Amino acid sequence: MQEKFYLTTAIDYVNGAPHIGHAYEKILADVIIRHKRQLTDNAYMLTGTDEHGIKIQKTAAQKGMTPQELCDENFAKFEQAWKELEISYDQIIRTTDEKHKKVVKQIFKKLYENGDIYKNSYTGLYCAGCETFLNPKDLTQDGLCPVHMKKPEEVKEENYFFRLSKYKEKIADYIKSHPDFIQPSVRVNEILNQLESIEDISVSRTKASVQWGIGVEGDDTQTIYVWIDALSNYITAIGYDIDNPSEQFKNLWPCNVHVIGKDIIKFHSIYWSAILMSLGLDLANSIFAHGWITIDQSKMSKSLGNVIAPHDVLQAFKLEKPDAFRYYMASAALSGKDGNYSDEDFKEKVNADLANNIGNLLNRTLNMLVKYFDGEIKSEFISDKNSKIAVLAENAKKQVIEHFNHFEIAEASNVIVAFADAVNKYVTDNAPWTLAKEGKMIECGQVLYNTLEAMRYIAILIHPYCPNISADILLQLNEDVNFKYDKLTWGNIKEGKITEKDKIKPVFLRLDSEFATDKKKV
């Protein structure tokens, strides 16, 4: 069993409802943490919501609500979405939580006392969407924010600044000496290039500009800005305190991985690293920056009307359980690359992989076991770990673990599907129906045993993606629903009766409903 594993996601901004992009990240994170729970009893997942700032303030005003009312309303939508998708987080933090606000004030004060925060007047280009000041060189040729494609406003304020430039060399050295820190590794040069021109950053806004936030203690003109407020959730949630950190914090920190979108990797790898260095805390072991999800090859946009809510995909395809959607999203893009959602591809992929490949393989094998052997495994059917199919199963397990070690979630799913393909080919090549017709019953039973034991491997390997389907497979094999990897050795299915005709049910039905319509759009 491995040691502790602490995973965090980005915290979602609650000025709107959750969409498929939010779901993509949370599913990736949940697949990772479920896998790690197969390896350790000390795995912990944190997610949350970012509830302060000018966007919340403005949106609430437009709706005739208080900022807290808006936060409460949208937090409930995120909480419900993660419940429907069976996101198995251990904790969900809100930056409006009193404990969080108290410790954020402590952190700001500590950074100030360390000489890393100072007050200064500043004129800069501010993007409200990014909630950050941009350098002119960061803008497009038309002078727009490259992420939100809007012109930033010129802001002149007296704010508190964090001496980010003080830590640029130390962060660069850390990145170079820790090759697993930024993943995928193609992002490393991007961050190192950004470090070369890094400047000190504003860590407060005037209350005249932003009222909705945590106030700076001792200065009632200033509101603590997002970089110290939001980023600190990773430590405040698990009990960080300047003077008396909790046992949970001591057990879980440093974080094993921050799972975030590629658009905020700079803030996590540079800003957050510098804050941790100033506090004298260890940096996270890894920052995994995933890509974006497009809709029918177009970036999601309210103006295009293609912003999809995950709830509506489940409804459109009449999915009582989220396994198919979870599997599709988690396998949508190779590590760090962008992925795409379309109704047609969703239907085709889950039908091919989950219904035709895995589900049909289990169903027909169990039916043959009933037909030829009354659902019973005989001792002479059981093969050892050196059989060809057993070696394939062990190799698949090793490859899946290796991919997960590098947060290659889609790559790991491809290994599982390829193994299922190989098992299907094994059944076709060995034709147990022909062996039975020829009276070669021991050979027939051996093929069926090997196939069912391979199905047990598939059930455990695919569990992080499809928790309900995997449990159903094990139940149909008359096996304990235990997904731990220390149980994943060849030969676990023992002799005896494991099934009857009326107990064999499809573990996943094909998606043959009509494609989702624009009713699903938010």
3-state secondary structure at position 19: coil
Give the tokens for residue 243: 């003077």
3-class SS of residue 468: helix
Which residue's structure tokens are 């996943």? 508
Name the residues annotated as catalytic.
Answer: 19, 22, 127, 130, 145, 148, 299, 302
Q: Partners of 224 in the beta sheet?
A: 204
Alpha helical stretches, state H, 150-256: 168-177, 188-196, 226-229, 233-236, 247-252
Query: 206-209: long-range contacts (C-beta < 8 A, 24 or more apart)?
Result: 206/157, 206/158, 206/159, 209/54, 209/155, 209/157
CA distance 30 to 36: 10
Token reading at 57 = 């303030």
Using CA atoms, how far apart are residues 299 and 276, in angstroms rounded to an integer? 34
**φ and ψ at residue 114, rounded to 5 degrees:** -75, -5
Instruction: Give 262-289 as a DSSP string.
Output: GGGHHIIIIIIHHHHHHHT-PPPS-EEE
Distance CA 231, CA 111 (A): 14
- Quickly list DSSP for 341-392: E-HHHHHHHHIIIIIIIIIHHHHHHHHHHHHHHTTEE-GGG---TTSHHHHH
- In Å, the largest CA–CA distance within the chain is 89
Q: How deeply is 42 buried, as exposed, middle or buried, from its count of CB atoms within 10 A (0-12, 13-18, 19+)?
A: middle
Contacts of 414 (CB under 8 A, 6+ apart): 331
Query: What length does the chain have?
Result: 522
CB atoms within 10 A of CB 88: 15
